[in-house]
Amino acid sequence: MNVDDLTTEQLDDLRERVVDALITMSEFEIGDYSTQFKVDFRKRHVLNGVFASMNEMIAAFGAEQEQSSAFRAELERKLLIVEKQRAAIRELSTPIIELWEGVLCLPVVGIMDTARSTEMTNSLLQAIVEKKTRYTIIDITGIEVMDTRTVDHFMRMAKSIRLLGAECALTGISPHIAQTVVHMGLELDDVVTHRSLRDALAYYVSRIRT
């Protein structure tokens, strides 16, 4: 179709549809996938086929965008669940128990590494400050192996506790660990030890009552 052969009315209609198309494209570019090109198949028009194809493309983009949004929302939901599970695991792996008013206990089970030691120390120090704790018991009954690095973790933890003005005792040292510590030449001179958690608690409670 030659533009020169169009009547004034047809030219005006063509200009109007082009303007509408430009507006539709601008809305599509800013993410509005509900927009549609005007198509009137009741009239034969050179732009009907083009606009119909563009509408199909927009609909496809809209469906893909909707799927992507749903996927991102589901991913964020799952990540939130994972984070909550991690927080619950951290709380379970670092239980801080108030055995008596002014006496906290941190039972340690499993393997100690730098990350876990840091997390335990932070949680314990925060609890000491919040509860204004005077005495802290670290019970290692659940630890089967103690090496130089593990001893260093507990030494640092005890020093941090003392810096807050609280006392710290280590309980639950098994005969095997005691022999290992002596055999390796590890020093626990700066750490108060008690045979059991019960002994440490009885000792601190007696001091609180006097």
Fold of 97-209: Transcription Regulator spoIIAA (3.30.750)
Answer left, alpha or beta for residue 132, where phi above 0 means left and psi between -120 and 50 means alpha.
Answer: left
pLDDT band at 7 (very low <50, low <70, confident <90, very high): low
Q: 46-50, 72-76, 115-119, 133-137: lowest mean pLDDT where? A: 46-50
As a whole number, mean pLDDT of residues 118-126 equals 91
How far apart, in whole angstroms, are the C-alpha atoms of residue 128 and residue 125?
Answer: 5
Structure tokens at 166: 């609280």
Task: Give me the count of residues in the chain.
Answer: 210
208, 101 Cβ separation under 8 angstroms? yes
**What does pLDDT average to over the chain?**
81
More confident residue, 180 or 21: 180
Whether the Cβ atoms of residue 123 and residue 94 lie closer than 8 Å to each other:
yes
Residues 6+ apart with CB under 8 A from 109: 93, 142, 143
When comparing pLDDT for 71 and 172, which is higher? 172
pLDDT of residue 5: 56
Name every residue whose Cβ is closer than 8 Å to that of residue 22 and which is 6 or more positions away in sequence.
none
- Going by the DSSP 8-state scheme, the letter that residue 101 receives in this structure is T
Alpha helices in 132-169 (DSSP H): 148-163
Strand locations in 37-102, DSSP E?
A: 97-100
Is 137 within 8 Å of 171 (Cβ atoms)? yes
Position of tokens 């792996």? 93
Is residue 192 pLDDT above 70, yes or no?
Answer: yes
pTM reported for the whole predicted model: 0.59
For tokens 């964020």, name the residue.
Answer: 76
Q: Where are the domains of the chain?
A: 3-90, 97-209
Q: How confident is the model at residue 40 (pLDDT cuts 50, 70, 90)?
A: low
Note the pLDDT of residue 31.
Answer: 67
Q: In the predicted model, is pLDDT for residue 71 greater than 90? A: no
Pair 51, 18: CB distance under 8 Å: no
- Least-confidence region, from 82-91, 127-136, 171-180, 193-202: 82-91
Tell me the per-residue pLDDT of 129-169, one tens digit each, with 9 for 90 and over.
999 999 999 999 988 778 888 888 888 899 999 999 999 99
pLDDT digits (tens, 9 = 90+) for 86-120: 666 565 567 899 999 999 999 998 888 888 888 88
Classify 136 as helix, strand or coil: strand
The better pLDDT of the pair 70, 103 is held by: 103
